């Protein structure tokens, strides 16, 4: 597929600088793009590379220095480039129907234009929407439901009665609706508390590989619209994750915790249970959250504190041995002075 620079600009809502008729047939980086390709500049740190790139055109922010290159100016070049990747390289998956080797239980409802690969299992009472793709090893447990335009990659499990919305993508090996971690003490042993709730994943959510979201003990663990969850994330039972959140790899969220909208948790953040985090909170990697957090903050550390304070504290850590040495010297000098003063007093 080839498009003129002008056609691409119109598709993106940008403006052309230079030859709008130049043909673009692909995309590339500033370093590697060649003739017939479009590259992009999103970080001003790399602006000097525009002068040396071999790309036929550059996508950049309004007012950037083109160095005489053909260009498209756009208010958000990073987002625009992502849309071009979709335009040039993302093709709809073929619709192959229910293939031999797939198991669909009697009474399960299957929508139109689906693909169910060999080795996938659709249990009794399951509802599958239109244009759904179920890759090998996917298991839809009894009573679960999947909306329209959903892709479940290999070995995804959707447990009993859990509900998946529209346009959801779930990557390999993820489990939705495993039992919550609930046990009652029984002397020196533990009695398993039945987990009879469900998980609801709302529209436009994407979940990475090998992530686990536990079903609620009684009601609903909910992932709200538009949230993106990375690989290797654990979300405990009865949690509610707000809209358009970003949860990065290896985050652990304990049960009954609520995240507001547009919360960002960096890699390996640990969140205690039964707390609330307000809207627009950003928490840096490897932080520990033990209590409620008010909205509109940037935090880091263990326990979390304002990010700037954490940076100052972190800068002090390498200097602690030097501080200790200085403190020991001062303590010795103070002791000597006290001894001299005591001697004069006698």
Task: Tell me the pLDDT tens digit for each residue of 177-216.
Answer: 999 999 999 999 999 999 999 999 999 999 999 999 999 9
Locate 139 and state its tokens.
């298991």
How confident is the prediction for the chain on average, in pLDDT? 95
Based on the fold, state whether residues 11 and 82 are members of the same structural domain.
yes
Asked if residue 50 belongs to a domain, the reply is yes
Question: What per-residue confidence (pLDDT) applies to 92?
Answer: 80
Burial category of 287 from C-beta neighbours within 10 Å (exposed 0-12, middle 13-18, buried 19 and up)? buried
The DSSP-derived string for 10-61 is HHHT-EEES-TT-EE-EE--TTT--TTEEEE---GGGGGGGGT---SEEEE-
Distance in angstroms (rounded) separating the CA atoms of residues 282 and 26: 35
Asked if residue 187 belongs to a domain, the reply is yes
Question: What per-residue confidence (pLDDT) applies to 78?
Answer: 92
Q: What's phi and psi for 78, nearest 5 deg?
A: -65, -45
pLDDT tens readout for residues 164-173: 999 999 999 9
pLDDT exceeds 70 at position 17 = yes
Asked if residue 313 belongs to a domain, the reply is no
Burial category of 288 from C-beta neighbours within 10 Å (exposed 0-12, middle 13-18, buried 19 and up)? middle
- Three-state secondary-structure class, residue 332: helix
Based on the fold, state whether residues 184 and 287 are members of the same structural domain.
yes
Residue 70 belongs to domain spanning: 3-89
Q: What's phi and psi for 243, nearest 5 deg?
A: -75, 145
Asked if residue 336 belongs to a domain, the reply is no
Based on the fold, state whether residues 211 and 190 are members of the same structural domain.
yes
Number of structural domains (the chain) is 2
What 49-57 contacts at long range (C-beta under 8 Å, 24+ apart), as own/partner pairs, is: 55/28, 55/30, 56/5, 56/22, 56/23, 56/24, 57/5, 57/18, 57/22, 57/24
CATH of the domain at 22: 3.40.1390.10
**182-209: burial string, b at 16+ Cβ within 10 Å, e else:** beeeeeeeeeeeebebbbbbbbbbbbbb
Farthest-apart Cα atoms in the chain, separation: 102
Residue 97 is given by DSSP the state E
Q: Among 89, 120, 154, which residue terminates a domain? A: 89
Asked if residue 262 belongs to a domain, the reply is yes
Based on the fold, state whether residues 139 and 113 are members of the same structural domain.
yes
Q: In the beta sheet, which residues pair with residue 150?
A: none
In this structure, the strands spanning 26-27 and 23-24 are unpaired
CATH of the domain at 130: 2.160.10.10
Q: Among 30, 61, 89, which residue terminates a domain? A: 89
Distance in angstroms (rounded) separating the CA atoms of residues 174 and 255: 18
**Could you give the count of Cα atoms lying within 13 Å of 248 in the half-sphere of its Cβ?**
13
Place of tokens 């192959």: 96
Q: Is the peptide bond before 303 cis (omega within 30 degrees of 0)?
A: yes
- Three-state secondary-structure class, residue 337: helix
Distance in angstroms (rounded) separating the CA atoms of residues 301 and 207: 26
Based on the fold, state whether residues 128 and 195 are members of the same structural domain.
yes
Based on the fold, state whether residues 85 and 104 are members of the same structural domain.
no
Asked if residue 268 belongs to a domain, the reply is yes
Based on the fold, state whether residues 157 and 83 are members of the same structural domain.
no
Question: What per-residue confidence (pLDDT) applies to 114?
Answer: 98
Q: Among 89, 121, 156, which residue terminates a domain? A: 89
Asked if residue 327 belongs to a domain, the reply is no
Based on the fold, state whether residues 180 and 108 are members of the same structural domain.
yes
Asked if residue 345 belongs to a domain, the reply is no
pLDDT tens readout for residues 241-259: 999 999 999 999 999 999 9
pLDDT band of residue 121 (cuts 50, 70, 90) is: very high
Based on the fold, state whether residues 167 and 249 are members of the same structural domain.
yes
Q: At what angle do helices 5-12 and 77-89 cross, to 10 degrees?
A: 120
* Active-site residue set: 237
Distance in angstroms (rounded) separating the CA atoms of residues 79 and 54: 22
Based on the fold, state whether residues 266 and 207 are members of the same structural domain.
yes
pLDDT exceeds 70 at position 346 = no
Based on the fold, state whether residues 115 and 211 are members of the same structural domain.
yes
Based on the fold, state whether residues 74 and 107 are members of the same structural domain.
no
């Amino acid at each position: 597929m080839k498009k003129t620079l002008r056609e691409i600009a119109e598709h993106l809502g940008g403006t052309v600088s230079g030859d709008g008729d130049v043909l673009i047939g692909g995309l590339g980086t500033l370093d590697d793009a060649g003739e017939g390709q479009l590259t992009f500049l999103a970080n001003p740190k790399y602006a000097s590379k525009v002068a040396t790139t071999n790309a036929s055109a550059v996508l950049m922010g309004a007012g950037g220095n083109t160095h005489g290159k053909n260009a498209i100016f756009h208010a958000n070049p990073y987002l625009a480039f992502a849309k071009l990747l979709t335009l040039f390289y993302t093709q709809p998956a073929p619709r192959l129907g229910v293939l031999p080797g797939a198991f669909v239980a009697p009474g399960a409802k299957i929508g139109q234009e689906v693909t169910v690969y060999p080795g996938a299992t659709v249990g009794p009472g399951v509802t599958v929407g239109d244009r759904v793709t179920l890759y090998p090893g996917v298991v839809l447990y009894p009573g679960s439901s999947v909306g329209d335009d959903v892709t479940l990659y290999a070995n995804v499990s959707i447990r009993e009665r859990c509900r998946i919305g529209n346009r959801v993508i779930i990557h390999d090996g993820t489990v939705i609706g495993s039992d919550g971690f609930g046990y009652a003490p029984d002397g020196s042993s533990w009695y398993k508390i039945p987990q009879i709730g469900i998980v609801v994943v709302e529209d436009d959510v994407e979940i990475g590989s090998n992530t686990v979201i536990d079903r609620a003990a009684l009601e609903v663990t909910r992932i709200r619209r538009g949230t993106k969850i990375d690989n290797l994330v654990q979300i405990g039972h009865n949690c509610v994750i707000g809209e358009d959140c970003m949860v990065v790899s290896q985050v652990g969220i304990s049960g009954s915790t609520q995240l507001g909208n547009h919360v960002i948790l960096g890699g390996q953040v640990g969140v205690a249970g039964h707390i609330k985090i307000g809207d627009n909170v950003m928490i840096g990697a490897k932080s520990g959250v033990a209590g409620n957090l008010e909205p509109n903050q940037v935090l880091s550390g263990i326990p979390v504190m304002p990010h700037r304070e954490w940076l100052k504290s972190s800068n002090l850590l390498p200097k602690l041995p030097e501080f200790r040495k200085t403190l020991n010297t001062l303590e010795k000098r103070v002791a000597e002075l006290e001894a001299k003063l005591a001697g004069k007093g006698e």
